[in-house]
Amino acid sequence: MTHDADLALLLKSCEPIAIALSGGTDSSVLLAYARRHGIRTIAISVDTGLTPPGELEAARVLSERLGISHIVIPLDALDIPAVRENRPDRCYACKRAMMEAVVREAERRGCRAVVDGTHADDRSAARPGMRALAELGIRSPFAECDIGKKDIEALAADLGVPVRPPSACLATRIPAGDAVTRECLALVAAAEALIAKEIPGTIRVRCIGEGARASIEADPAYHDRLEELLDAVRDLGFEDAVIASGGYREGGADAWKR
């Protein structure tokens, strides 16, 4: 990777730093990289109630393995009207609240900068939360050093960090305009955890309509096995469960409408 030296110099110039650690691959690799290069750092995660199953635990396990202090801040995302009502600005409002909490904790602990795992390939994507990062002065070392997803995966292999499937907050499983409820979030989390035990790769369980119907997206190669799991998904409390043709689709639950 050609920008490795630039990344180390950038992080060194900002220390002590706080890494906003989601538990996903990108921020996890950044944490392990900082540790390898002796950067003074802490890890801060935010528990919003919208985190996919396993991510906070992955953040805790990695921080513990690396010997880095890990702080988890509780923040109920459903206390934010834009999130609860699933407005168009939901992602921005949520990210803003999360990163404000991270910045406050980082300042309290004497950190000079907060950094996150946003990378060069994210810059062309439609990510409303990135506006909140800019407003709060959050640094994105991977993006600043022109390091993209393939580079991060190469670093992950070198650093011994597992590459996790792409993830997104659980609210993306609910179509825009439909209220985000604790009941639906719990159903989605339980269903995705159940399926992930049996099927590899990216899995999405979309919670559609008032009857809480599950539309399940997974690798078509595993659809036969998924058929065998539909009754177990319904038993969790969904009115019905179906398999979406074509597998995983980007765009959140709104892609289900297309």
The pTM of the full predicted model, rounded to 2 decimals, is 0.88
| Residue 250: per-residue pLDDT | 67
The Cα–Cα gap between 134 and 29 comes to 22
| Residue 126: per-residue pLDDT | 58
Closest to 27 (Cα-Cα) out of 122, 132, 171, 152: 152
| Residue 115: per-residue pLDDT | 98
Which of the four pLDDT bands, split at 50, 70 and 90, describes residue 255? very low
Q: In the chain, pLDDT over 90 holds for what percent of residues?
A: 79
DSSP per position, 151-199: HHHHHHHHHT---PPP---GGGGS-TTSPP-HHHHHHHHHHHHHHHTT-
Which of the four pLDDT bands, split at 50, 70 and 90, describes residue 1? very low
Closest to 218 (Cα-Cα) out of 206, 201, 233: 201
Which of the four pLDDT bands, split at 50, 70 and 90, describes residue 12? very high
Rg over CA atoms, the chain: 19
The answer to whether 52 and 85 have CB atoms below 8 angstroms apart is: no
To which H or E segment does residue 71 belong?
A: strand 70-74
The amino acid sitting at 4 is D
Most confident of the ranges 4-8, 40-44, 52-56, 197-201: 40-44
Lowest-pLDDT range of 23-37, 117-131, 158-172: 117-131
